[in-house]
Chains A and B, each alone.
Chain A
Amino acid sequence: MNLLEIKNLGISFGGLRAVDDFNLTIREGQLYGLIGPNGAGKTTVFNLLTGVYRPTTGKIFLKGQNITGKSSIEINKAGIARTFQNIRLFKNMTVLENVKVGLHNRENYGVISSLLKLPGYRAAERRIEERAMELLQVFSLEEDAHHLASNLPYGKQRKLEIARALASAPTLLLLDEPAAGMNPQETAELMEMIRFVQKKFDVTILLIEHDMKLVLGICEEITVLNFGCLLAQGETASVLKDPRVIKAYLGD
């Protein structure tokens, strides 16, 4: 079944056509790659998918439901979570709290019940704490649970962002250059982790990445963007052999 369908998506900034007539279909359970030269519009596609920007043309469907032009909040509730190219953690909160914020909508006790400390509230808080710690364990961050997020080294911050996004229980997880700033060893670990996460949490993943090893290693299919337009689409290994892709993106 198709999880995500993007049809004729487009947006302009001033005179710049950042994304143009973009189409993409992702099936449930896929690990899908989005690549392309710098400034091709990959991050912009993510921004359109998550309601940061409103598309000028085109439509986006998640599980058949039209989410075009919805707010970020509604889109998250519909099942999309993401990480950011420029890390955006809650810097003044601890690692654990960052994940707990991700769990925000998983427990729905109200303001009043928190003010009165009703039993429901206590139980819910306990569940939140447990789930958050579980998630941190998946990313081996449990030791850092009580550290300020901003004091983590880069690589761990990226992992924390993924953990936080997963906390909101998405069906579709968008990762924007998760391996940026990691060395090959760490990247290899990350690949394992992404695969594991996909199985364990049963999410579909769409990721942007410039590290071809990672893309080849885990993405079944990819789409290549160039100047906002679709350049190639299909099974990873064969797309990467496409001479147009080599010319525009990979170099030789």
Chain B
Amino acid sequence: MKNDIVKSEKKSNITGSSLLIRILVVVGIYALVSALMLTGNMSRSWESLSIRICFNVILALSLNLVVGFLGELSLGHAGFYAVGAYAGSMFAVYTDFPMFVRIIGAVLVGALSAGIAGFLISSSILKLKGDYLAIVTLAFGEIIRSFVKILPGTGGTAGLSGIPAFPSRYVGFTFAYAFVILTLIILKCFINSRHGRAVTAIRDNVISAEMLGININRYKVTVFVIASVLAGVAGVIFSFFKTMIEPNDFSYNLSIEILVMVVIGGMGNLTGSIIAAGVIVVVPELLRALEDYRMLMYAIVLIAVMLINESPKKAQFIERYSPKVLLKKLLRKGEKKSESA
């Protein structure tokens, strides 16, 4: 008996042509944005938004690994982000190597520190599941934010200022974009490997996974470490963008905002996370014209998106009008035309 519900595109090996398309999209976006920036055709708000989108995309992608693939609700992603941002920018502020070394060093130091934090946290909460884990990650994020206030060198509540800025917007964007791509490659490779499958299996059924010899604890820690390293990198980019960071930049509201991106984009859907991160950053800016009603509208949009996202009609709509389907139709038409010609 033939069953027609096929989960599309779940193949582990990227076929040649789709790899090419992906490379084209990646290069194309970069070329477009650079061209606009370098010719001065991009408005300033979009220039800065393009960088903000980048580090938010990295945050969303990395959290998606935890929430979407491992299936654990983490409400403390801002904590790892904070560790990366503070460690990285303290390196950049308190050393006087050449600029280039400071930037690279900051990324390494930020990523490493966040990774260590991810390792320590995740290995101490292995016994916790579900909402218990959620509350502990949330608490952890708040602890980081809190302790930053009393640690030496962090600038306390007033924040750490004097972080070197990117020499130009264009450099900043290139830098951030490169890390977005790196993040994507890392996640894709991980997910399509036996390790990625193991992680998804843990999400779907822990007992079965254990029974197949999959080391649950090791994978939980691995996933948290990868996600926190990436969040740490995002933190460093953020601190170079903002040039000053303060504890309030990393409150649990931010963790929730990242979670919103992941869920709206679709759990376990990397492309979705990218788009959603972009949308969540851009929408409030687009709504500026509404003035007082801006955040009200934002809330309404958020609810509406969730309701539409989950409605059965949307599934039908996508079945008919998704870009993939449309592209196929177009190609078919083209073929027919060329045949008839």
Chain A residues packing against B (C-beta within 8 Å): 50-52, 71-73, 76-77, 81-82, 84, 88-94, 97, 100-105, 107, 109, 111, 114-117, 121, 124-125, 128-129, 143-144, 146-148, 151-153, 164-165, 167-168
Contact = CB atoms under 8 A, between A and B. Distances in A.
Given A84-B208, A90-B204, A146-B10, A114 B214 contact: no
B212 A107 contact: no
Interface stretch (B114-122, B192-200, B279-287): B192-200
A101 B214 contact: yes
Nearest to A147: B3
30 contacts: A51-B210, A77-B213, A81-B211, A82-B211, A84-B208, A88-B207, A88-B208, A89-B204, A90-B204, A90-B208, A90-B209, A91-B204, A92-B203, A93-B197, A93-B204, A94-B7, A94-B10, A100-B12, A100-B197, A101-B197, A101-B201, A104-B201, A104-B213, A111-B222, A125-B194, A146-B7, A148-B6, A164-B208, A164-B212, A167-B212
B198 A104 contact: yes
A101 B189 contact: no
B1 interface: yes
B213 A100 contact: no
Contacts of B215: 73
Contacts of B195: 111, 114
A73 B213 contact: yes
Interface of B: 1-3, 5-7, 10-13, 186, 189-190, 192-198, 200-201, 203-205, 207-216, 222
A124 B195 CA distance: 12
A148 B7 contact: yes
Contacts of B204: 89-93
Chain A CB count within 10 A is highest, among B10, B192, B201, for B201
B200 A71 contact: no
Given A90-B201, A93-B201, A148-B5, A115 B212 contact: no
Contacts of B205: 88-91
Given A92-B200, A111-B190, A153-B1, A101 B209 contact: yes
Given A90-B201, A94-B10, A121 B213 contact: no
Given A90-B201, A101-B198, A168 B212 contact: yes
A107 B203 CA distance: 21
A116 B207 CA distance: 30
B194 A114 contact: yes
Contacts of A143: 2
B213 A168 contact: yes
A125 B12 contact: yes
| A-B complex: 6 closest residue pairs judged by Cβ atoms | A114-B193, A76-B213, A90-B204, A72-B210, A101-B201, A88-B208
Contacts of A168: 212-213
Given A73-B213, A89-B205, A147 B7 contact: yes
B6 A146 contact: yes
A125 B213 CA distance: 18
Contact of B190 (A84, A115, A144): A115
A121 B193 CA distance: 8
A90 B7 contact: no
Contact of A72 (B186, B189, B194, B211): B211
B190 A89 contact: no
A166 B12 CA distance: 21
A114 B189 contact: yes
B212 A101 contact: yes
Contact of A107 (B6, B194, B216): B194
A125 B12 CA distance: 9
A164 B208 CA distance: 10
Contacts of A129: 12-13
B7 A104 contact: no
A125 B194 CA distance: 8
Nearest to A122: B13
Contacts of B211: 50, 72, 76, 81-82, 165
Contacts of A89: 204-205, 208
B208 A109 contact: no
Nearest to B207: A88
Given A89-B205, A146-B6, A104 B212 contact: yes
A206 to B, nearest CB: 15
A124 B197 CA distance: 14
Contacts of A111: 190, 193, 195, 222
Given A88-B205, A93-B200, A115 B194 contact: no
A52 B186 CA distance: 34
Nearest to B216: A73
Given A92-B203, A129-B13, 13 more contacts: A51-B210, A72-B210, A88-B207, A90-B208, A92-B204, A100-B12, A101-B200, A104-B197, A105-B213, A114-B190, A147-B6, A151-B5, A153-B1
Given A125-B13, A153-B1, A81 B194 contact: no
A229 B222 CA distance: 44
Contacts of B189: 114-117
